[in-house]
A and B are shown apart, each in its own frame.
Chain A
């Protein structure tokens, strides 16, 4: 069977798992504080940034730093748990299908879920921006092209991280441990983003991009140019390595 219908099948497996709710809650939680604290956007503390840009970047900062990685962690573990909890994976392994394809289909599903969350966050942003514009009588709405471009680049930067989390949840059987490791790995990205080796740590990629966007919107806060080298090759390398590991180890413990 072809890859596309396999992906469709994987999507079917997560029916009734409430995964979309899991993706939606953080998106909503992220914007509630922004609406409540909207007047803080006018208190710029000397940073040369417009309130509307500040609103956008501060809102997405929390999302990028914590919520995207956390959602990815939960999604990967949930995807693997649906296979393991009732031994569905055992059935899959005894069907004529290669484990590599199966694993790549899982990864595709993960990327689709992440994309859905990105769309949700764009919609949430516009709804919130409209609400605060109405309350404050100040136009907080940025042009769609700018917003979409930033969100898309954040999404692309999250792909290596997704591959790494997939590898972690494939390698570590106990769900609570893979979640624990995933969540713990989020915390240091604040520290690592300010060091010279940030490009070696996939969890900080989206955060880096939003910081660059911040730097562009407010002069002197952060760098304004994306340092493509050595970032790009390292990111590609990490992604391929993580995917290779997950493909090789996929279902390995069920086939002892």
Chain B
């Protein structure tokens, strides 16, 4: 069963098309890796899911609901992490989460829980603007994970983290569906990273979906198209490169 589905989802800014006729299918209880180079339209798609930007064309459903009519009830089910540092610098990490907790109407212990999940417990009394980049990133993640929502939308959650942090967060994301039966949509520009976390992947370039399916299916289709398959990073690069060439050729 698909928990998030889009039909011909399109977003244009003036004459620039950020997302073009996107048809995504995200299975319930899976980790969906959303892959693409910078500026491919990943963040725009995620922003549309959260009602932060209006689709120009097409529709999407999240758990059977749609924007804008069910905006609030969608947001109740979705924990999100977009555009890395979104917080109040004059408040401590704990106070920032406290605000989110109150809005979501969650019990008090959720803040501690979220802090523990991302490993910020010992820094919870520090002002958020004094956090290091990695800590800000973790705070953002805590804000998404708080209350353990059934759907998580995470935009490049490992940006700015050190190798240990990246590993921790990856492991955490990988374990989430089994732990609390949730669905995760996570974006990245590294295929190797997505490979470690995701069940399904969607590859986006210049707003177009190049591929959607499992890792196995990717390998099969890449082999069929004559892309290198022994190293996944090469596969990804070759796919993007080929798409760019085709695009450059038609324009």
A residues engaging B (CB < 8 A)? 1, 5-6, 9, 12-17, 82, 85-98, 254-256
Decide yes or no whether B90 CB sits under 8 A from chain A: yes
Q: Is the CB of B75 within 8 A of A94?
A: yes
Expressed in whole angstroms, the Cα–Cα distance for A98 and B103 within the complex equals: 11
Complex contacts, A95 vs chain B, CB 8 Å: 75, 100, 103-104
Indicate with 1 or 0, residue by residue over B67-111, a CB within 8 angstroms of chain A CB atoms.
000011111101010110111111100010011101111000000
Expressed in whole angstroms, the Cα–Cα distance for A87 and B128 within the complex equals: 13
Jot down 18 A-B pairs with beta carbons below 8 A, ordered by A.
A9-B99, A13-B99, A17-B90, A82-B88, A86-B86, A87-B83, A87-B87, A88-B87, A90-B52, A90-B83, A91-B143, A93-B52, A94-B80, A95-B103, A96-B76, A97-B72, A97-B103, A255-B52
Q: Is the CB of B90 within 8 A of A96?
A: no
Complex contacts, A97 vs chain B, CB 8 Å: 72, 75, 103
Expressed in whole angstroms, the Cα–Cα distance for A231 and B58 within the complex equals: 49
Complex contacts, A256 vs chain B, CB 8 Å: 13, 53
- Minimal Cβ-Cβ distance residue in A for B75: A96
Q: Is the CB of B87 within 8 A of A1?
A: no
- Minimal Cβ-Cβ distance residue in A for B72: A96
B91's contact among A12, A85, A93, A98, by CB below 8 Å, is which?
Answer: A12
Complex contacts, A9 vs chain B, CB 8 Å: 99, 102-103
9 nearest A-B pairs in the assembled complex, by CB-CB distance:
A96-B75, A87-B86, A96-B76, A96-B72, A90-B86, A91-B86, A94-B50, A88-B88, A16-B90
CB of B7, distance to nearest CB on chain A (Å): 22
CB of A102, distance to nearest CB on chain B (Å): 9
Decide yes or no whether B25 CB sits under 8 A from chain A: no
B residues engaging A (CB < 8 A)? 13, 50-54, 71-76, 78, 80, 82-83, 85-91, 95, 98-100, 102-105, 127-129, 143
Expressed in whole angstroms, the Cα–Cα distance for A97 and B51 within the complex equals: 12
Complex contacts, A16 vs chain B, CB 8 Å: 90-91, 127
Q: Is the CB of B75 within 8 A of A91?
A: no
B104's contact among A17, A88, A89, A96, by CB below 8 Å, is which?
Answer: A96
Q: Is the CB of A254 within 8 A of B52?
A: yes
Complex contacts, A255 vs chain B, CB 8 Å: 51-54
Q: How many A-B residue pairs have CB under 8 A?
A: 84
Q: Is the CB of B82 within 8 A of A1?
A: no
- Minimal Cβ-Cβ distance residue in B for A102: B103
A13's contact among B73, B76, B88, by CB below 8 Å, is which?
Answer: B88
Complex contacts, A254 vs chain B, CB 8 Å: 52
Expressed in whole angstroms, the Cα–Cα distance for A98 and B88 within the complex equals: 19
B89's contact among A12, A86, A94, by CB below 8 Å, is which?
Answer: A86
Please indicate which of the listed interface residues B74, B78, B87, B88 has the most CB atoms of chain A within 10 Å of its own CB.
B88
Expressed in whole angstroms, the Cα–Cα distance for A96 and B78 within the complex equals: 9
Please indicate which of the listed interface residues B50, B53, B71, B86 has the most CB atoms of chain A within 10 Å of its own CB.
B86
Complex contacts, A91 vs chain B, CB 8 Å: 86-87, 100, 143
Complex contacts, B50 vs chain A, CB 8 Å: 93-94
Expressed in whole angstroms, the Cα–Cα distance for A17 and B89 within the complex equals: 10
Complex contacts, B72 vs chain A, CB 8 Å: 96-98
Q: Is the CB of B104 within 8 A of A86?
A: no
Expressed in whole angstroms, the Cα–Cα distance for A85 and B88 within the complex equals: 8
- Minimal Cβ-Cβ distance residue in B for A5: B102
Complex contacts, B52 vs chain A, CB 8 Å: 90, 93-94, 254-255
Expressed in whole angstroms, the Cα–Cα distance for A6 and B100 within the complex equals: 11
Expressed in whole angstroms, the Cα–Cα distance for A95 and B104 within the complex equals: 7
Given A9-B99, A12-B95, A94-B51, 11 further pairs, Cβ under 8 A = A1-B105, A9-B102, A12-B91, A15-B90, A17-B90, A86-B85, A92-B103, A93-B50, A94-B80, A96-B76, A256-B53
CB of B247, distance to nearest CB on chain A (Å): 25
- Minimal Cβ-Cβ distance residue in A for B50: A94
Q: Is the CB of A87 within 8 A of B53?
A: no
Complex contacts, A14 vs chain B, CB 8 Å: 90
A87's contact among B74, B76, B85, B103, by CB below 8 Å, is which?
Answer: B85
Please indicate which of the listed interface residues B52, B95, B128 has the most CB atoms of chain A within 10 Å of its own CB.
B52
- Minimal Cβ-Cβ distance residue in B for A18: B90
CB of A216, distance to nearest CB on chain B (Å): 44
Q: Is the CB of A1 within 8 A of B103?
A: yes
Complex contacts, B143 vs chain A, CB 8 Å: 91
Complex contacts, A15 vs chain B, CB 8 Å: 90-91, 95
Complex contacts, A93 vs chain B, CB 8 Å: 50-52
Complex contacts, A86 vs chain B, CB 8 Å: 85-89, 128-129
Complex contacts, B75 vs chain A, CB 8 Å: 94-97
